[in-house]
Amino acid sequence: MTYCVGIKLDAGLVFLSDSRTNAGLDQISTFRKMIVYEKPGDRFMVMLSAGNLSISQSVREILQVEKIDNGDGEPISMWNATSMFDAVRVLGSAVRRVYDQDGPSLKQSGVDFNASMIFGGQIKGEAMRLFLVYSAGNFIEATRETCYFQIGESKYGKPVLDRMITPATPLPEAAKCALVSMDSTLKSNLSVGLPLDLLVYEADRYRTDQLVCIDEHNPYFHMIRSSWGQRLRQVFESLDDPLWGDGATSHPLVVHSPRYEPMRKITHPGERII
């Protein structure tokens, strides 16, 4: 499996992906799931992929040459699209093309056509945009209310993102939050694994030098992994234990209500229970 997250902020974009693929208990390999499409000064785009590796690799290859008919001139490709919306349309077309050529054979073999992508970036002349692309080639766009997307094993790393990320979050803080989210996933799911690819993009630069591959020896991520668990334990221990008696004056656990009372069956002396 995998875990990838893309975050869209006022200041820029953050992308993080793991690199573990799992085709069975004894078939665990490492493949990168992040690819960068860059034309300095003109466009900067990132794609993260999850799902069937053969599908995502085929999509990557086709995407290099895929074009869609705009109906009024030169066909649109990743490299001449004038908007991120057009670029993600090209990606969706590439997904559908792979489905057309491989979908029937996969179905015959009992394999689902399973692939999803996070695609985001910026093309000169418009603002940054971030999309989640489904296996049918359709997509949705991030908004200020939902400013991040996850694919793969998303449930373990979601709580910290929900609590911490807003559009105003600074890029370094968002990168830290993404790494904490990944650490939570690594802790709870063996199908996600190192090394990681982390990319931070600043708005209106159309390039980045903030791209790093993180392995088990990376000092910053080692600090995250050790400190996060310790700090969680400290915060957990600072919370009051639940008190069942009358001593809980500030944060009582038991609050009587005629509407919300426990359901219970009480037997009386001599009553027979069947």
Which CATH number do you get for residue 219? 3.60.20.10
Q: Tell me, what's the pLDDT at 29?
A: 82
DSSP assignments along 174-213, one per residue: HHHHHHHHHHHHHHH-TT--S-EEEEEEETT-S--SEEEE
Burial class (CB in 10 A: 0-12, 13-18, 19+), 157: buried
227 falls within a domain: yes
pTM for this structure? 0.92
35 falls within a domain: yes
Backbone angles phi, psi at 14, to 5 degrees: -130, 130
Q: Check whether 27 has a pLDDT greater than 70.
A: no
Residues 252-269: what's their mean pLDDT? 76
Q: Which domain holds residue 162?
A: 3-232
241 falls within a domain: no
Q: Check whether 220 has a pLDDT greater than 70.
A: yes
- The total number of structural domains that make up the chain: 1
Backbone angles phi, psi at 62, to 5 degrees: -65, -35
256 falls within a domain: no
For all residues of the chain together, what is the average pLDDT? 92
156 falls within a domain: yes
Query: In angstroms, rounded to a whole number, what is the distance separating the alpha carbons of residues 247 and 165?
Result: 37
In tens, the pLDDT along 83-95 reads: 999 999 999 999 9
Rg over alpha carbons for the chain, rounded to the nearest Å, is 24
Burial class (CB in 10 A: 0-12, 13-18, 19+), 225: middle
Asked if 124 contacts 108 with a C-beta cutoff of 8 angstroms, the reply is: no
Query: In angstroms, rounded to a whole number, what is the distance separating the alpha carbons of residues 186 and 193?
Result: 6
269 falls within a domain: no
Residues 20-38: what's their mean pLDDT? 81
In tens, the pLDDT along 47-59 reads: 999 999 999 999 9
